[in-house]
Structure 1
């Protein structure tokens, strides 16, 4: 085997395939959480109750989003796509789909 018969080799850098995370969360839901907590903070006119509730909401949401991103960094995008396409791919049979007969043969029946 000569040099011409070798397979081509290409280096793929880790930075090109790694998901973009902000504070170990996906970027889009993290921005939504930050915006909502900022709106709670600003709408309270610097009252202690609103400051604490905004901080608690932010930290709880941050922990939740981190857990989701740790399980699968693209889970938010998959969930959004699932919700958006839900009516196209319903999980229930429709009236016009006809009756489906399921034949189950038990392994111990000898058939």
Structure 2
């Protein structure tokens, strides 16, 4: 493989990683919005539960909102891991490009 072909290949790989990072950033933004909505729902449920004096329906709604919030939080953590890995791969490709 010639230097030009190798550089072209590396630039193609870099573009794919940048596109992946863009996709992950969009997914992370969506998951942050979902998490924020669930966090607000938890706060509203807690308020309603305090006002209702322990009504079973309010307690059930609070439990469900907390579960949804926790799921969204886990997705955010996964997004962070995937973004870190993608940035690590991008750094490695950038090093290889700079060495060519």
| TM-score (normalizing by structure 1) | 0.35
Flag the structure with higher helix content: 2
> Greater RCO between the two (CA within 8 Å, min separation 6)?
2
Bigger Cα Rg: 1
| TM-score (normalizing by structure 2) | 0.37
